[in-house]
């Protein structure tokens, strides 16, 4: 059973999400938060598996709430799925940097929302290759850092190559095909890189790759 916390300041949105999730045998809505502060508080008291987090809420917004949840060692098992009305806006990349495991448009099909919760709940990042490429193109297309961030040296040459492919939007299967290795081996390399760099998931690995200067955006 996947336990879900809803965080949205609009009662109608929460009611719609609850109706959808309550109809599923393997999902349970354990609480509703009306702003970021209550989302953090309820995350600590209810310990949901997944928080569906709206970005724009009064008081503490969804990005800061996500940052506080991700920064709390006691809440390390909680995954945050960002919900937005605006698609690939500037809030999304900030939310991923803050520790979110992915994002979804509020007008997504119900089946897509259910699938997104399942993906995030099992510890994966909701960043399909096409979404990753668009995100990078729109929000990381600035100049590369003057100096690489600390931490790159902990990766082997093979791990750096694989992290670059992850940041370019390739899935584990794509990486395996490109490098002539098995998908399991690709996944193992990705997981080792995340462990060494203290990244929560694949989304954080993509952010690290660009912010460290390991990968520089390709100009359109």
Section 123-136 average pLDDT: 61
Distance between alpha carbon 16 and the CA centroid of its chain, in Å?
23
- Domain check: are 30 and 112 in the same one? yes
Q: What's the CATH code of the domain at 91? A: 3.40.50.2300
In a domain, 135, yes or no: no
Q: Which two tokens stand for residue 31?
A: 């609480």
No. of helices (H) and no. of strands (E), the chain: 10, 5
Between 71 and 171, whose confidence is greater?
Answer: 71
Domain membership of residue 136 (yes or no) is no
Q: Range with the lowest mean pLDDT among 120-134, 154-168, 171-185?
A: 120-134
The model's pLDDT over 45-64, given as tens digits with 9 standing for 90+, comes to 999 999 999 988 999 999 99
- The first and second tokens of residue 3, run together, are 């336990």
**91 in the same domain as 37:** yes
Helix ranges (DSSP H) in 50-199: 62-71, 90-98, 110-121, 129-139, 157-167, 172-179, 183-197
Whether 218 is in a domain gets the answer no
Of 67-76, 92-101, 128-137, the least confident: 128-137
Q: What is the pTM of this model?
A: 0.71
Domain span at residue 31? 2-126
Whether residue 42 is contained in a domain is answered as yes
CATH of the domain at 205: 1.10.10.10
How many folded domains does the chain comprise?
A: 2
Q: For 106-122, b where at least 16 C-beta lie within 10 A, e where not — what string? A: beeeeeebbebbbbbbe
For residues 174 and 84, membership in a common domain is answered with no
**Cα 81-128-66 angle, rounded to 5 deg:** 20
Residue 132, domain member (yes or no): no
What's the whole-number average pLDDT of the chain? Answer: 84
- Reduce the DSSP state of residue 212 to 3 states and report it: coil
Which of 68, 98, 126 is the last residue before a domain boundary?
126
């Amino acid at each position: 059973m996947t336990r879900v916390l809803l965080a949205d300041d609009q009662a109608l949105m929460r009611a719609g999400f609850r109706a959808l999730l309550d109809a599923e045998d393997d999902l349970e809505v354990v609480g509703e938060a009306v702003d970021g502060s209550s989302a953090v508080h309820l995350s600590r008291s209810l310990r949901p598996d997944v928080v569906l987090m709206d970005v724009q809420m009064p008081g503490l917004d969804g990005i800061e709430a996500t940052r506080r949840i991700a920064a709390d060692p006691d809440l390390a098992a909680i995954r945050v799925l960002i919900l937005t009305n605006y698609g690939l806006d500037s809030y999304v990349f900030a939310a991923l940097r803050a520790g979110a495991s992915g994002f979804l448009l509020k007008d997504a099909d119900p089946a897509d929302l259910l699938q997104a919760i399942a993906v995030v709940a099992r510890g994966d990042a909701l960043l399909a290759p096409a979404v990753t490429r668009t995100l990078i193109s729109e929000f990381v297309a600035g100049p590369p850092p003057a100096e690489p961030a600390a931490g790159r040296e902990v990766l082997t040459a093979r791990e750096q190559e694989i992290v670059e492919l992850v940041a370019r939007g390739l899935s584990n299967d794509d990486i395996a095909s490109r490098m002539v290795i098995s998908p399991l081996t690709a996944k193992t390399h990705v997981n080792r890189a995340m462990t060494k760099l203290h990244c929560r998931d694949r989304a954080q690995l993509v952010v690290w790759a660009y912010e460290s200067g390991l990968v520089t955006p390709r100009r359109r």
